[in-house]
Amino acid sequence: MSQSRVKGPAIFLAQFLPPKERPTSLREMTAWAGGLGYKGVQIPTWDKRIFDLDKASSSQAYCEEVIGICRDAGVELVELSTHLQGQLVAAHPAYIDMLDAFAPSAVQGDAKARAQWARSQLLKAAQASAFLGLKSHATFSGALLWHTFYPWPKRPENLIEDGFKALAELWLPILDAFDAAGVDICYELHPGEDLHDGVTFERFLAAVNDHPRVNILYDPSHFLLQQLDYLAFIDIYHDRIKSFHVKDAEFRPSGRAGVYGGYSAWIDRPGRFRSLGDGQIDFRAIFSKLTQYGYENWAILEWECCLKHPEQGAEEGVKFIADHLIRVAEHDFDDFAGGETDSAKNRRILGLGT
C-alpha cells in the first residue's frame, strides 16, 4: 500500500507550554497532542517540566521512559530542539541582556560562561538524541554578524568572511559530536541568526568544509517575511532539508513600513506570522515539492500567530497538515497505455530498423 513520504502531523510543543509558574509534564503535553490527533511531537529541551536534558544525555533508562510516555499518548518523539541554547553558542555582546533569559541564572551576565554552557547543552543534545534513536535535531546558529546585516555603515573588508570563520570554529566541535551520534543538525534559517537564508547557509557550509551534519530546518514563514522565493529554495537546497516547520505568514505591503517593520508590534507589521491557512504561503506546492524530492521526515506544526488563540491554532493545524500529506502513486498514471521496455521496438520507432 502506498504511503506519504512526508510524515505527520507533528507539533512543536514549545509555544503550547503553560506559564512557567504552572506545573505540567511530558505526559500531560503528549496526551494533549495525541488527543488532538497529532502523530508526533518535537520537544524543547530547555523546560525541565517536560524534559531533562542533563538526565537524557547520561541515562538510557530515562530516554526509554520518555519514549514510553510518548508511545502511551499515541505519538512519536520526532526531534529534540535546542533553539534557545543554539542562539547562545554565538551571541554578540550587544544582546547579552536580552539573551540572558535563555540561560540559567548561574551564567547570566557572563558571556563566556553562558556560551560555554550553551555548547555543553548542544553536546548533551547529541548524546540524548542518540539514546532516543533520533536522526535529526532542530536548533539556531546564533549570530556574530546580525547587527551588520544592512551594509551601512560600510562593513570593513573581509568582515563577513571572518565572521563565518569564527562561527564555524564555534560549531565544528558540536557538529563532530552530532556526527559521532549519527544525528543531523537542522538549522532553522531565521532572521536574527547568521544563518537566515540560502546565501548565509552556503557561506557557513563552506566555512565548515561541507560538513555532512549541516542541514536545514525548512520554515517558509521566515522566507516569506524576507520576500525570498520559498519554493525555489526547495529546488536548490532539498538535499539538505532534513526538518520542516509548517508555519504560515503574510506580507502586506504598506506605505508606512516594509520588510523591517518600523519596530512595530507583530500585529501592526506588514510581515506577520499567522495560523495555518490564514496566511499567504502555498503549502500545497511546498508539500508537492518535498514529496517530489523524497523528503521523508516529519511535517511539524510551529504555531505563532498575532491574532488567533494557540488552542484554536493547534486544533486546526492537525487537520491542515493531514490534508496536505500526499499519498505517493505506486505507478505512472499512463501505464495503462503501454510503454513496456522493448529495445527492438524502440529502434523501429527511431527509424533505425531492428
Output the 3-class SS for 264-279. CCHHHCCEEEECCCCC
Per-residue pLDDT reduced to its tens digit, 111-131 = 999 999 999 999 999 999 999
pLDDT-based confidence at 38, cuts 50/70/90?
very high
The answer to whether residues 205 and 214 touch, using CB atoms and an 8 Å cutoff, is: yes
Contacts 24+ apart (CB under 8 A), 175-178: 175/208, 175/211, 175/213, 175/214, 177/122, 177/123, 177/126, 177/127, 178/126, 178/129, 178/137, 178/213
The closest alpha carbon to 230, from 249, 213, 202, belongs to: 249
The closest alpha carbon to 227, from 280, 275, 268, 277, belongs to: 280
Q: Which three cell numbers stand for residue 176?
A: 563532530
> In which region does residue 263 sit, left (phi positive, over 0), alpha (psi from -120 to 50) or beta (all else)?
left
Domains of the chain: 7-349 (3.20.20.150)
Instruction: Return the higher-pLDDT residue of 152 and 335.
Output: 152
User: What was the pLDDT predicted at 330?
Assistant: 78
User: What was the pLDDT predicted at 354?
Assistant: 65
Percentage of residues in the chain having pLDDT higher than 70: 98
User: What was the pLDDT predicted at 1?
Assistant: 46
Per-residue pLDDT reduced to its tens digit, 313-354 = 999 999 999 999 999 987 777 766 777 778 888 888 899 976
pTM value? 0.95
Phi and psi at 104, nearest 5°, equal: -65, 155
Beta strands 271-274 and 248-251: pairing type? antiparallel
Q: Which three cell numbers stand for residue 175?
A: 557538529
